[in-house]
Amino acid sequence: MFKILSKEQLNSETCLVEFHAPDIAAAAGPGQFLVLRVDEKGERFPLTIHDMDPERGTVSVVCQAVGVSTRKLCSLGEGGHVADIAGPLGHRVSGAGYGKVIVVGGGVGVAEAYPVARLFAGNGSEVEVIAGFRTKELVLCEKELKEFCREVHVTTDDGSYGRKGFVTDVLGGLLTKKKYDLAFVVGPVAMMKAVSGMTLSENLETRVSLNALMVDGTGMCGCCRILYGGEKRFACYDGPDFDASKVDFEDLGRRVSSYVEKERQALEHKCRIGLVPPSAGRGK
Ligand SMILES: Cc1cc2nc3c(=O)[nH]c(=O)nc-3n(C[C@H](O)[C@H](O)[C@H](O)COP(=O)(O)OP(=O)(O)OC[C@H]3O[C@@H](n4cnc5c(N)ncnc54)[C@H](O)[C@@H]3O)c2cc1C
Ligand code: FES
């Protein structure tokens, strides 16, 4: 069992949860993730380590309540417990030696990119961020990113905050004016594909953090298989970040949407029988 030391509702669908997990905190690094199980009957699901504090023995995650497991986690409060946490999993991002880095995040991907952006800045890179959200209420981490980034560009699809449009609208302008040494991209598959298309056509080294479906997170089950330069790789074991030029985004997109209908039915059923809160957020 892992205890929740603090829980903050960041917006109607996203929460920040801090766990007491000293062994994980001592070993965790930027870009790594956890596989959690909220209760003994729950499924295992991955969340990126948003922050870690080895001295306090804590790790935190930012969780968007999209389905059964993430809603269950967001419904817990301070003092609550989850059944298991495995981690840290995946490779750390190694972020040394880049002059200018552009980090592009979409939705909760911005919170996932936060520790990586901080690593680059800590290693002396000049970091610029483009953070895209559907609407103002869902904007995450802007203040925290501004503490160490040279510039943070926020976009909203509906224009309710920052620039109206998609991250690609801002990126297009920046790529014509500035030179970067690396792009790091985290978000929905379609967004990572569109961003990588633009950056790679400028010959900019681009890394993407892949959100493949995962179960064990250790390279055993094969669930997170991706096609990479025509060969199989496991996103959990070989990644989660990869050279975007070799990723088959079509295959990834097909695989991550394989269970959408089953997941929707499971959510409806569990809401009906009261095992999951009927709306995404505002847990305890
Ligand atoms: C390495 C990695 C890091 C991630 N980090 C974060 C994070 O920091 N914050 C966050 O909010 N989300 C993160 N995700 C996505 C998160 O794992 C899914 O939202 C979660 O598993 C959904 O489970 P559910 O039961 O709530 O919803 P479901 O209804 O089961 O699924 C909703 C959608 O989530 C995705 N998903 C479902 N099961 C899995 C699974 N086992 N593995 C991966 N994706 C799945 C699918 O696209 C699915 O359509 C990450 C995913 C990966 C692979
Ligand atoms: S999640 Fe099982 S091999 Fe990657």
Q: What share of the chain is helix, strand, coil (3-state, %, to 5)?
A: 30, 30, 40
pLDDT tens for each residue of 187-210: 999 999 999 999 999 999 999 999
CA dihedral defined by 114, 117, 118, 121, rounded to 10 degrees? Answer: -160
Query: Whose Cα sits closest to atom 17 in ligand 1?
Result: 46
The DSSP call for residue 66 is: -
Judge whether 111 and 85 are in contact, CB under 8 Å.
Answer: no
Q: Which ligand is nearest to the CA of 275?
A: 1
Query: Whose Cα sits closest to atom 3 in ligand 2?
Result: 219
pLDDT tens for each residue of 73-94: 999 999 999 999 999 999 999 8
Best substitution site from 215, 238, 242, 256 to test ligand 2's pocket, by max atoms within 8 Å of Cβ? 215
Q: Ligand 2 pocket by C-beta < 6 Å: which residues? A: 214-217, 219-224, 234, 236-237
Residues carrying CATH 3.40.50.80, the chain: 100-209
Q: Which CATH number does 2-89 carry?
A: 2.40.30.10
- CA 178 to ligand 1 center in whole angstroms: 34
Helix, strand or coil, per DSSP, at residue 12: coil
The percent of residues in the chain predicted with pLDDT above 70, rounded, is 98
Residues carrying CATH 2.40.30.10, the chain: 2-89
pLDDT at 119 over 80: yes
The pLDDT confidence band at residue 257, using thresholds 50, 70 and 90, is confident
- CA 270 to ligand 2 center in whole angstroms: 26
CA distance 53 to 192: 29
Global pTM? 0.93
pLDDT at 48 over 60: yes
Read off the amino acid at residue 113.
A
DSSP E strands, the chain: 2-11, 14-20, 33-37, 45-48, 51-53, 58-64, 81-82, 84-89, 100-106, 126-133, 151-156, 163-164, 182-186, 206-209, 225-228, 231-234, 241-243
Best substitution site from 33, 213, 224, 233 to test ligand 2's pocket, by max atoms within 8 Å of Cβ? 224
pLDDT at 280: 65
The token duo for 117 is 């952006």
Judge whether 101 and 42 are in contact, CB under 8 Å.
Answer: no
CA dihedral defined by 120, 124, 126, 128, rounded to 10 degrees? Answer: 20
Architecture in CATH for domain 100-209 = 3-Layer(aba) Sandwich (3.40)
pLDDT at 91: 97
